[in-house]
Structure 1
């Protein structure tokens, strides 16, 4: 009995020693492999990294992070069958990382990366590649955020429709999904950017982290804007009224009691301003009778506006805004209401609705730009002295500059507008001669009711 106990203790000690030795071996192998990878010598790092991955797969997430870089290097410098082999090895590495480190790995990003590397290297049929991106979107939409991947996802659908393998409606459905995702990411970036811009505009010092956050948000906004432009170019003539009206007209009688179909047709026709054809009224009226909604109310507002009944149009638009749950569509409705008030010269009401649009969609730079223009138009009415009247242009310039930063699609025009307004504002000599100083607050009256500070010059 005593001998057996001693044997058990000995075995446990030896087992512990073996595990300890294995752990030390993993640490030694990993340290050597990681050193080469840190030095970006991926040729030298490749085999040691793959050995660590094989023998000590759970040792560290760093094995997979460095392994990814090494395999991307190998893929870039290989050709033919060897390149295909490295591609499959990279995909295997990503899948293994997801299995072993699920809490530190984004499923959506991994699936999107797998789809992207196959897409970039043309490994698979169009449908197989599309399904790979669709897996990323379907299984982890939140983390499928790559601008490049989202564009490829749509491009592949268009390619299949061009080949006769998908219907035009499938293209529209995919476009709506991808565009909605991009606008969500834009809104997130703009929402993160807004308080930092306010802090910067107030003259407060930003720390290094905040400066990086601004840089990162602005890069993302530019990338997503580029993808939106590419999506619209790819959609091209497919979304013209000449295609949409026949597409929906042929099915109207059969589908006029189908709420989903009517909503889809209504949204597409409305978005493309295909409102002059009688079909638009038929679809809108049928939808509003079956199920009053934001879309149907908005469409009836468009029709009332086209008939010259602005009061009725605003009633419908406000109804649409109250019913709408999607923030991008809510912003679109508020923007249209604001523009109606602006055209009437009701600047205060217009600003209220532009601000509501921005609450729903922080990346809607045009709303900031419209506020800037209204402020500039009111310069002579909203200041007591000549200096204060011209100071209004500083505030207008601030709004125009913010428009450029949250919405790269209008950055050029918005920055030019900001520069023009600054040119109309008091210059350095005016500030000096007026006995004013940088940082001094100037209260602007009338409908504007805001404070602007004299900038550093």
Structure 2
């Protein structure tokens, strides 16, 4: 190879390297300008350099897509009509580009559910294409699919598709089970923290600013999930009533009687909808217990035993179920059921222990708090030594009722009304004034708790 050729190649390499270096420098400079404007929310100034970086050097930094999302969200809030739809499409394109260039730093569940929601909100595509985005998010990354609104839209779309004959009723039931499980898991996590912080407050300790903020945030999240759960149940509506479940499962029984998952789902749904008087429920339970003796089959046998007024046998089955159950929310349901049976027998102390076991497994089980409050209130005359201490029992009952509304927003109205009723029966300001120096009251008998005298 002659010297002239070598010189030409070398010169080309130098020019190429210089060009790449210049482009990288230009990208960095342009990105720096764009990011600085975006940081102070000057999106008008940020837009041109930001989109230049996005187009010419998309792998420069994840910040390009993060700031781009904020920029488009700002424009989206102010837009209307066709302009809003155009921005929505631009947001979808941006999210997909982020996944393309930064897959390791993009949550599939979050991104695809975002796309599904904005498509739904702006009538982009049809119900099937919108559902497909949510379904991808749910099946591939359920952990990061946690927005209450998006969970509701996802389920609503499936019900719409089933109504149009494009999805099976069983698909709706299967997703319903998954959605409710997801909601209850999220509720339990938040309710546990709320219960712990409430206990801290009741002990007289001050909450930090961070804890107060968390309490407020979690309360809002619980309220949203409570609304979604109610909406999902409403959407399911008559689809899951006994008049639809019984013929559906009767028709499927012969072909599915050896399918353990199907038997569990069918028996569980019939139990939840109180279709347990139909002979089909007995057939399902019998087949389930034969195919796979388990926590679920023991629980349903307990329900059947109760119907036959065989209380001792029912409790035996329920306790077996509680021991075998591995899913916390289902274990809580079994403990609550035992508490109900024992409460009816008049053993309040034992019933409380089961209600508390239910709460330990599902902290959002507000109804358990209401049951404890009710038992305490009904024992006021028996567990106090004088008029003041007897009436002080209602303070304790009030405290449990308030907790019910805090961990389960769907009960808040009823819980607050119940608490107000107990408060009205508790010692008045005059009673407290006439008992100076009494700062707390130790309540005896089965209750065995101490309640502080409030500063009225």
User: Is TM more than 0.5 here?
Assistant: yes
Equivalent residue number for residue 95 of structure 2 = 94
Equivalent residue number for residue 223 of structure 1 = 224
Q: Give CA deviations for 1:96-128 in whole Å, capped at 9, x if unaligned.
A: 334555565433111211111111112122221
Q: How does 1:77-116 map to 2 (within 5 A)?
A: 77-80=79-82, 82-101=83-102, 105-116=106-117
Distance in 2, matches of 1:78 and 1:86, equals 10
Q: How does 1:53-452 map to 2 (within 5 A)?
A: 53-55=54-56, 57=58, 61-76=62-77, 77-80=79-82, 82-101=83-102, 105-436=106-437, 440-452=439-451
Equivalent residue number for residue 26 of structure 1 = 31
Change (3 A) 1:170 1:21: closer
Distance in 2, matches of 1:17 and 1:130, equals 45
Distance in 1, matches of 2:99 and 2:217, equals 26
Distance in 1, matches of 2:105 and 2:216, equals 25
3-state SS in 2 of match to 1:443: strand
3-state SS in 2 of match to 1:251: helix
Please identify, of 191-200 and 424-433, the stretch whose mean Cα deviation from structure 2 is larger. Answer: 424-433
Q: Give CA deviations for 1:354-410 in whole Å, capped at 9, x if unaligned.
A: 011101110010000110111111111112232222211111111100101110111
3-state SS in 1 of match to 2:444: coil
Q: What's the offset of the Cα at 1:59?
A: 5.5
Please identify, of 65-74 and 95-104, the stretch whose mean Cα deviation from structure 2 is larger. Answer: 95-104
Q: What's the offset of the Cα at 1:23?
A: 3.3
Change (3 A) 1:55 1:204: farther
TM-score with structure 2 setting the length: 0.90
Q: What's the offset of the Cα at 1:69?
A: 2.8
Change (3 A) 1:114 1:21: closer
Q: Tell me the C-alpha RMSD between the 2 structures.
A: 2.6
CA contact (8 A) 2:99 2:106 kept: yes
CA contact (8 A) 2:34 2:47 kept: no
Change (3 A) 1:96 1:354: same
Q: Give CA deviations for 1:85-106 in whole Å, capped at 9, x if unaligned.
A: 4223212222333455556543
Change (3 A) 1:123 1:344: same
Distance in 2, matches of 1:148 and 1:12, equals 50
Change (3 A) 1:174 1:16: closer
Please identify, of 57-66 and 421-430, the stretch whose mean Cα deviation from structure 2 is larger. Answer: 57-66
CA contact (8 A) 2:27 2:53 kept: no
TM-score with structure 1 setting the length: 0.90
Number of residues paired by the alignment?
445
Equivalent residue number for residue 454 of structure 1 = 453
- Return 5+ residue gaps in structure 2 as ranges: 1-6
- Return 5+ residue gaps in structure 1 as ranges: none
Q: What's the offset of the Cα at 1:19?
A: 5.5
3-state SS in 2 of match to 1:447: coil
